[in-house]
Amino acid sequence: SLQHKDANLHPLWKGPLDVPGGSRQSPINIRVRDSVFHPNLAPISTQYDPNTCLHIWNNGYSFLVEYDDCTNKSVVSGGPLENPFRLKQFHFHWGVNNDWGSEHTVDSKVFPAELHLVHWNCTKYRTFEEAVMEDNGLVVIGVFLKLGRRNEKLQKLVDILPSVRYKDALTEFNYFDPSGLLPACSDYWTYSGSLTTPPLTESVTWIIMKKPIEVDHSQVILVHQVFVTDL
Ligand SMILES: O=S(=O)(O)/C=C/c1cc(Br)ccc1O
Ligand SMILES: [Zn+2]
């Protein structure tokens, strides 16, 4: 029973003011006191095969690490999900400084960055592209990043970023285990929402991890310095 933040009020929103028929637009502000604990909700289960990692590329908005989604080797299941959803890609949202960056907020607290792991309903649909546009098509796991200790699991990603500095750059990246980017605590919030980037379709079951992961200054600054999107 989390409130839906109106897209108009989202500080960074530059797109059309009103998404036609938008009744469950993401991101939202998670008001912890409004969340309802469901004791019978199972834990989220991720099984990721690091060998399904394909490449990293810059789509002009973020850098995406894409996975081979032709098999069920890398999936999320459990929690509120009725069947496994295949990992397609993960990407980050960050700001030009550490005062803002995350899309979701927790009791109005903004984090310096937010990781999104995008999965699609391979039981109900045949492709990711189809699932994006359909009901119950996607599951996105959101993980907040906060400044703290150096994150060794992230360093391999930070080191390769200079190679995808410009829009449409792509680099082979053939072994990466995204479960290393999940917090140790398995507590999560879940709500029905939408993609936060075009096509903004309301096809997403969001699973937001309650605890952030930590990264240190040098890792975040590198993203700020290296990553130029509009060239
Ligand atoms: O809601 S988000 O996970 O931020 C949207 C993700 C996303 C959706 C498509 Br479709 C293509 C690239 C993307 O990064
Ligand atoms: Zn995202």
* Cα–ligand 1 centroid distance for 126 (angstroms): 18
At residue 225 the predicted structure's pLDDT band, cuts being 50, 70 and 90, is low
pLDDT at 95: 80
Which of 1, 43, 59 has the alpha carbon at shortest distance from 183? 43
pLDDT at 94: 87
At residue 218 the predicted structure's pLDDT band, cuts being 50, 70 and 90, is confident
Over residues 35-75, the pLDDT tens digits come to: 999 999 999 999 999 999 999 999 888 899 999 999 999 99
DSSP 34: G
* Cα–ligand 1 centroid distance for 39 (angstroms): 30
Which of 223, 175, 187 has the alpha carbon at shortest distance from 53? 175
pLDDT at 154: 94
Given the CA of residue 91, which atom of ligand 1 is nearest to it? Answer: 14
% of the chain surpassing 70 pLDDT = 86
Highest mean pLDDT: which range of 12-21, 23-32, 157-166 = 23-32
- Mean pLDDT over all residues of the chain? 89
Which of 86, 81, 2 has the alpha carbon at shortest distance from 44? 81
* Cα–ligand 1 centroid distance for 196 (angstroms): 7
Q: Which amino acid is at 36?
A: V
Who lines ligand 1 at CB under 6 A? 64, 91, 116, 118, 132, 140, 195-197
Neighbours of 49 (CB within 10 A): 16
pLDDT at 14: 45
Given the CA of residue 140, which atom of ligand 1 is nearest to it? Answer: 3
Pocket-testing residue among 195, 200, 204, 206, ligand 1, by greatest number of atoms within 8 A of Cβ: 195
% of the chain surpassing 90 pLDDT = 74
* Class of residue 4 by CB neighbours under 10 A (exposed 0-12, middle 13-18, buried 19+): middle
Over residues 112-143, the pLDDT tens digits come to: 999 999 999 999 999 999 999 999 999 999 99
In angstroms, the CA 202 to CA 34 distance is 22
pLDDT at 37: 96
At residue 226 the predicted structure's pLDDT band, cuts being 50, 70 and 90, is low
Neighbours of 103 (CB within 10 A): 21
* Cα–ligand 1 centroid distance for 114 (angstroms): 13
Over residues 167-193, the pLDDT tens digits come to: 899 999 999 999 999 999 999 999 999
